[in-house]
Chain A
């Protein structure tokens, strides 16, 4: 992964004229602290590749989903919001501690900026998804972040999902997230990302009139 500091800045007007489909922003907040090193980070990288592949199978979902990736340990914007067509999954490396609170605050800031850009350019938007993946407990103050998440969920500004990998402090996760946090079954990152892409593809699908709901996360989460 090259240094994102000098990555290309898209010209918004042209970007939205080129692809005027309504957007569904997806923010991935991924823990890359030292404890994730080894098999976990390898599976996670593989999962990201699968995520991109699965979305790529659906032209319309590709045009609608835009992905941002923020890793923490330390907090770093690996990829700003990019439409799925142009999203290149990076190879993440694990190191450092777990500043989860700062990562959430930073990620929500990115989301807010993106939302403003979408608003100014007058293309519709579906409710954004924020996906937090961690295997530890925050090493910084996370209460402010939890408050921001609660307010965001209340205002229906986004849907926040927390996923705990083995070793995660599920107690703090359930205080962070309004929704019940999910515990990843082993290292089934691949299955999790396939599920995520299928859920996102539903955004551009016909909906049957009766019983519309997300597929159950069974298959990758311990329920």
Chain B
């Protein structure tokens, strides 16, 4: 008996202890039936105390409906001033959960404990509970909170199949903008991206919680199997947490992880397509986009509405979209209970479901084509070989030789001589023109003769030639680069087309589409298999019609058969082809001469009365008639199964062809990539020459 204060300062007195765990002890409360107090072994740290106050504050009717949400905090009466805020929290008050009425989820999904706790529960019940778990998560997530430490110990299930979350004080709580993380976790329910991390202050996302949710769904639908526990090709035996960290989802059809499902379990094939996809998404190594609680709820609602009982064993419940997976699982017992119908005995019945299971084992044996990989060049190709233009050779610049220099100086001298001669000629009184001509030549000689000038001229000419040679060369290089660039543009257009072609020719996508088609075929055949009764009923109906006709033909149209029907009238009826009641039909009567509407009506009534007196005994239907209908149906079914059977080698060949086509497309893409790359490298090379 200990007294505490609640947040409002009222007394709360504990009574007898109900149990204790790692965190603290749970007590009944005085004068508060239906409520218990969880007193922590140590007063909470300030930040944990703050979280607990928030937990109590965010409580809502919605949360109360799905969980034992804490109702109030407990405080030390000796420190009454710290009750409202800041003071340490010693415990919480929460609704009493009667463990004799509700039990941890693993006691339902594990077959051995299910026999003890839920002796009458069948698969329908498990699907139902899975739905309720999804609904509870949907509510919790809608309020912005997360379970964080998702585990089958934190979910209790009642005999009615409703569920309740416990340990809500450890959940991750959102109060306004503030998030209070969940400090604990269960390794085997922790998503791969959080494996090995410390939980203490880790803020989880809804996507993390959805991993745990998917795990609970798997546990329930697969009777306690862990999705990551399977038989490893490399002989490893892993703890569930290690297998999660390595993305070893054992049941995947889409990701090859080197693990297969354990023997003696259901596989994803046992579920409708929608649920298969949800599990693939939930446990995919891509981590993102795990299914929401709402998605599970929708898919499970559909499953529970379309559950059917196996024809062979009424304990077997399964989706109507698939053949009974339980029969496939325990083949030894499947033959024991053959279909019993109320119809007359027959020869050996075709077991369509078993046949299709057998065929599907063959189909599943066809290797799945690998997923498409992004195509990249593994080896960088050499540049495209191009004939680089040769730079024209410019004769080198050569300095003047000694002889040339001397000749130059000689010319200078000659020029001076000419100038002097011109002066002399002028002084001699010869015409001015002549001396001017002589002086001009002299000047030319001086000018051209100067060796420095000559050398400069030669150098200039050399440089001009050199520049022009380089320009020509660069023009040629540029021209080549431009040509290559144009080629690249063209090739890139082809490459885009080839890449589209490659994507379209994905062997895996084709394989999946093909399998979808086969699944549809299977449902169709399954439907046909179920139609045997209709076929027989139809045969019986048609036999009934035949008997009726015989019966009608026994009633002859003769004089006196009805009041007012004389021999004249009968004769004209006979001539119109109406001899018995069978031929009394409106269309026929209209063609008979001398019969009015009144007589016509009377005749029709006569026939109708006869029909009403006709009684049919189905047991009189000859066995052969029913047998024939059955045979026809069986033959059709057999034909359908034969066609389906031929799909196995067919699929094998098609997959081979698709893989070949995909490789071909890949080679096209790669060779185009290589060509583009070669040209681009050549362009780079040409450009480097241009600088």
User: How far is the CB of A35 from the nearest CB of chain B, in Å?
Assistant: 37
In the bound complex, do residue B200 and residue A210 qualify as a contact, i.e. CB atoms below 8 Å apart? yes
Which of chain B's residues have a CB closer than 8 A to the CB of A121? 231, 262-264
Selected interface stretch from A10-18, A48-56, A176-184: A10-18
Which of chain A's residues have a CB closer than 8 A to the CB of B22? 205
- Count contacts on A: residues with CB < 8 A to the other chain: 31
State which of A17, A85, A122, A208 has its C-beta within 8 Å of the C-beta of B230: A122
Which of chain A's residues have a CB closer than 8 A to the CB of B237? 115, 118-119, 124-125
Selected interface stretch from B220-228, B511-519, B621-629: B220-228
Size category of the binding interface on chain B = 35 or more
In the bound complex, do residue B198 and residue A210 qualify as a contact, i.e. CB atoms below 8 Å apart? yes
In the bound complex, do residue A21 and residue B238 qualify as a contact, i.e. CB atoms below 8 Å apart? no
Q: Is the contact region of chain B dominated by helix, strand, or loop, or is it mixed?
A: loop
User: How far is the CB of B2 from the nearest CB of chain A, in Å?
Assistant: 25
Q: Is the contact region of chain A dominated by helix, strand, or loop, or is it mixed?
A: mixed
User: 1/0 contact trace for B228-246 toward A, CB 8 Å?
Assistant: 1111100111111001000
- A8: interface (CB < 8 Å): no
Chain A residue at minimal CB-CB distance from B243 = A124
Chain B residue at minimal CB-CB distance from A121 = B262
- A43: interface (CB < 8 Å): no
The A64-118 residues at the B interface (CB cut-off 8 A) are: 85, 115, 118
Which of chain A's residues have a CB closer than 8 A to the CB of B184? 206-209
The B628-684 residues at the A interface (CB cut-off 8 A) are: none
Which of chain B's residues have a CB closer than 8 A to the CB of A122? 229-231, 250, 259-263, 265
Selected interface stretch from B51-59, B102-110, B307-315: B102-110
Knowing A17-B264, A122-B250, the reply to whether A59 touches B113 (Cβ < 8 A) is yes
How many residue-residue contacts, CB under 8 A, span A and B?
119
- B449: interface (CB < 8 Å): no
Which of chain B's residues have a CB closer than 8 A to the CB of A118? 237
Which of chain B's residues have a CB closer than 8 A to the CB of A18? 110-112
In the bound complex, do residue B107 and residue A124 qualify as a contact, i.e. CB atoms below 8 Å apart? no
Bound-state CA distance A90–B135 (Å) is 47
- B197: interface (CB < 8 Å): yes
Chain B residue at minimal CB-CB distance from A127 = B239
Chain B residue at minimal CB-CB distance from A120 = B231
The A22-79 residues at the B interface (CB cut-off 8 A) are: 22, 59-60, 63
In the bound complex, do residue B111 and residue A124 qualify as a contact, i.e. CB atoms below 8 Å apart? no
In the bound complex, do residue B226 and residue A209 qualify as a contact, i.e. CB atoms below 8 Å apart? no
State which of B170, B199, B226 has its C-beta within 8 Å of the C-beta of A22: B226
Chain A residue at minimal CB-CB distance from B181 = A209
In the bound complex, do residue B112 and residue A19 qualify as a contact, i.e. CB atoms below 8 Å apart? yes
In the bound complex, do residue B262 and residue A16 qualify as a contact, i.e. CB atoms below 8 Å apart? yes
Which of chain B's residues have a CB closer than 8 A to the CB of A63? 106, 110, 112-113
Which of chain A's residues have a CB closer than 8 A to the CB of B107? 59
Knowing A206-B151, A210-B198, the reply to whether A20 touches B106 (Cβ < 8 A) is no
4 closest pairs, A vs B, by CB? A122-B262, A209-B199, A209-B198, A122-B231
